[in-house]
Structure 1
Amino acid sequence: MERNEVAAVLACIGRLDPRTIRPGTGEARDQIAQWHELLHDVPFATAHGWDVREAIRGHVLASPYAILPVDIARKWHAYRRDRLSRHTDPTPVADPDDWSAWRTELVANRQAVATGTAEPSTHRQITSGSPHPDVEARLAAIGSCIPPTVRTELARYRPARAAREAAVAAGQPDALSVPCRWCHADEGEPCRSRRLGLDGHARGNAPRATPHPTRVDLAAELGQQGAA
């Protein structure tokens, strides 16, 4: 802030808290000089959320003590930390082989975010809202977010999922929609090949590509009950 902005800040504080008013001209001049020394790197307002008048008003409402310049400075530094914590550095457009230009652009971008002249790049945050129209059109065309050719290639790496999809496509019951009474696999989990040892305990726990017949029968039975 410049000296005239510091004077405006003190005038604003004086209206809200008369205890800070200095009646003498010399005292007021010294007060402006003192505040300017501590707040010269704090902006009066930015385009993205910072306004020193709001910081003053919040302090007057929350604290019984007269506001000091350090209170405003602390609020400004908290504002900077919050913005930088929500910021993800975008890839600079400078040539990555030009280390100096790359670093200069990165530092300038962070400084713009910290000082409130640019919004944080928040692509790490979870987005919300409806899908993009292009995505909706693609899903309507292929019926799935995974294209059929890619699904075919993935089938050999996930045989249980492929067998499940093939069974549903053929009009058979979805066996994985119910738990398995034989191997005790939970709903949605593939069956397990469990063998009993001589001591009566289970040996082996490898996933099966196809569900146990009892699980298929249970899914078909529940499906018929639901249809009835």
Structure 2
Amino acid sequence: MTPREVAALLAYVVGLDPRLALDDQAAAEDRLAQWCDLLSDVPAQAHGWDAARTAREHIASSPYRIQPSDVSRPWFAHRADVMRRHVGTFEPTEHPEIDPDDETGDAFVAALRAERLAVAAGRQAPVTHRALTSGPAAAEVERRLAALGDYMPKTVRDLLAAHRPHRAARERLAAANLPDVLDVPCTWCLAPQGEPCRGRRINPGNHAIAYRARKDPHPCRVEDAAAHYARRQEQETAA
């Protein structure tokens, strides 16, 4: 802050806390010099920062008289948090002065250093996203995902179909817009929604009961799934 900004901040805090008022001119000048020295590296306002707001919050929450360090410490903590969140990257199109064929990279380093200094000083907002979330690279990722139709390529999904038959069967039914028995629970074996029907097996030695997945669903579940599908079709038609 400049001496004028520090003097304005002091006048503001004295108005909020009259205990800080000084009648002696020399003491007031000494206080101003002290605040100017300690707040010379603190901006009055920056991205996400306001020195007056910080001073007001201290006066409102602390019983102790405000000191210049009660403003400078929060600023340095705020700056450290901003720099932790700043990923330190920028779009090359925003820096036409950088020669892409410069093998030394001096211009790039200088631009990156200037950007970090601007963010640290609060003159520029931090870049808190990764490079692939914006720009041409992100558009290419979105285009490729749209072409694949899923996060998993269709060729890989087809190869895995033999190892997960229930999932493959459900995908085929969804693609053909047909009823899926796993959309409803089974009222016979009490298999929950999304899990295949199960058969009960009793160990003749200790009479322990175990369950195994059935290849075919119970007939009642097939009927319930058809009714569920019909109701859903009617709701979509009505909507």
Is 1:177–1:219's contact at 8 Å kept on the other side of the alignment? no
Unaligned runs of 5+ in 1: 128-134
Distance 1:9 1:112 in 2: 23
- C-alpha contact (below 8 Å) 1:174/1:219 kept by paired residues: no
Distance 1:170 1:16, change over 3 A: closer
Cα distance in 2 for residues equivalent to 1:151 and 1:43 = 55
Identity of aligned residues (%): 39
**Length, aligned pairs only:** 206
Residues 192-203 of structure 1: pairs in structure 2 closer than 5 A: none
Q: TM-score, normalised by structure 2?
A: 0.63
Which residue matches 1:222? 224
Alignment of 1:38-57 (within 5 A): 38-46=38-46, 48-57=47-56
Aligned-residue offset at 1:87:
2.8
Structure 2 residue identity aligned to 1:162: A
Q: Distance in 1 between matches of 2:35 and 2:106?
A: 37
Q: 1:107-186 to 2 correspondence within 5 Å? A: 107-123=113-129, 145-146=149-150, 151=154, 154-158=157-161, 160=165, 161-170=167-176, 172-178=178-184
Letter of the 2:120 counterpart: A
User: In structure 1, what residue type is equivalent to 2:14?
Assistant: G
The answer to whether structure 1 residue 64 and structure 2 residue 66 are counterparts is no
Cα RMSD (Å) of the superposition?
4.4
Alpha-carbon separation, structure 2, partners of 1:14 and 1:21? 6
Q: Output the CA distance in 2 between the equivalents of 1:26 and 1:19.
A: 17
Distance 1:8 1:173 in 2: 73
Q: Shift in Å at residue 222 of structure 1?
A: 1.5
**CA deviation after TM superposition for structure 1 residue 99, in Å:** 5.2
Could you tell me which amino acid in structure 1 is paired with residue 74 of structure 2? K
